[in-house]
């Protein structure tokens, strides 16, 4: 399975906990769809980044996907020549979700073009960064690139260099960061690093997995960095990505599920209109955080 497929499969299990609220989530996402076929960011305009998450919420919940309408929106980006790495990966992932209904001839040219442009973001150390042709890659850049190649069904070259780049981003406290030489890691970066190790089929850094587990706080979610431990404010991105990475590598999350504090945390981010918000400090629901809400619920439903 690919990164996208594993995450979708997990997010689909959220229906066991959503029950009758599943339709609320579907309706929320459908309301985010713009006339041009894209989905809204936090404005009335469509956004490629948020379109990915909207599509995948609908797929995870088994809702009807308006593929023709979305395809017309995606076609305006062609092979993504004008896009940065984040949005190239979004374009690849969107096509990965709906390309089965497309003309194979058109898709072959489009997908190979996306892969070509992704290589503009390969760093000299063999990783990837959102800035073109830099000296050092980031964990996030490597995660985006590998996922994009999987979605394009194109083999990435020199994966060993990618693995070395990720290894170089290990922090002094035993986690991972997007910047070299950091003393303290971040939860999303560490989750991404462990996920990359799994898909690259290289030894898993289980000490980093232990670090990741320790970012779970008594308020029910995961904090983004250890510096937030005193204030104890978790967020949905950190919680969903940590749960997914730990489950993926076979690290137990039983203690996290015990007592249902994590479910209570997710419930506190649920909005009555069917969406999820990102944290207690951000009460605006959107497609991205709704997807991460489903991903976290999928792991807690087992």
- pTM score of the predicted model: 0.96
Residues 6+ apart with CB under 8 A from 192: 139, 140, 142, 143, 176, 241, 245
pLDDT of residue 101: 47
Distance from C-alpha of 278 to C-alpha of 84, rounded to nearest angstrom: 24
- Chunked into runs of 10 residues, the chain (302 residues) has average pLDDT values of 96 96 98 96 93 97 94 96 98 88 65 96 97 95 98 96 97 95 96 98 98 96 93 94 98 90 96 95 96 98 84
The reported pLDDT for the residue numbered 107 is 76
Q: Which two tokens stand for residue 85?
A: 């790495």
Neighbours of 10 (CB within 10 A): 23
Q: What is the pLDDT of residue 302?
A: 75
Dihedral Cα 249, 63, 56, 190, nearest 10 deg:
-30
């Amino acid at each position: 399975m690919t990164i996208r497929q594993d995450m979708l499969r997990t997010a689909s299990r959220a229906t066991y906990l959503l029950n009758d609220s599943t339709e609320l989530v579907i309706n929320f996402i459908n309301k985010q769809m713009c006339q041009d076929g894209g989905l809204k960011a936090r404005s009335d305009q469509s956004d490629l980044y948020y379109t990915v998450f909207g599509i995948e919420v609908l797929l995870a919940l088994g809702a009807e996907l308006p593929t023709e309408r979305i395809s017309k929106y995606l076609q305006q980006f062609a092979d993504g020549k004008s896009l940065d790495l984040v949005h190239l990966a979004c374009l690849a992932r969107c096509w990965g979700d709906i390309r089965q209904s497309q003309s194979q001839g058109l898709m072959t040219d489009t997908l190979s073009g996306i892969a070509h442009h992704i290589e503009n973001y390969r760093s000299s150390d063999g990783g990837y960064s959102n800035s073109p042709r830099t000296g050092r890659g980031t964990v996030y850049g490597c995660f985006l690139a590998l996922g994009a190649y999987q979605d394009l069904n194109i083999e990435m070259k020199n994966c060993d260099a990618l693995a070395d780049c990720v290894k170089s981003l290990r922090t002094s406290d035993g986690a991972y960061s997007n910047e070299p030489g950091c003393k303290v890691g971040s939860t999303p970066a560490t989750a991404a690093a462990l996920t990359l190790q799994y898909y690259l089929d290289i030894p898993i850094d289980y000490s980093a997995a232990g670090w990741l587990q320790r970012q779970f706080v008594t308020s029910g979610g995961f904090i983004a960095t250890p510096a937030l431990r005193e204030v104890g404010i978790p967020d949905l991105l950190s919680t969903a990505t940590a749960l997914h990475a730990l489950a993926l590598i076979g690290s137990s999350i039983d203690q996290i599920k015990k007592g249902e504090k994590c479910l209570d945390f997710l419930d506190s981010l649920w909005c009555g209109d069917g969406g999820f918000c990102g944290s207690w400090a951000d009460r605006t629901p959107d497609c991205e955080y709704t997807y991460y809400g489903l991903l976290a619920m999928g792991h807690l439903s087992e």
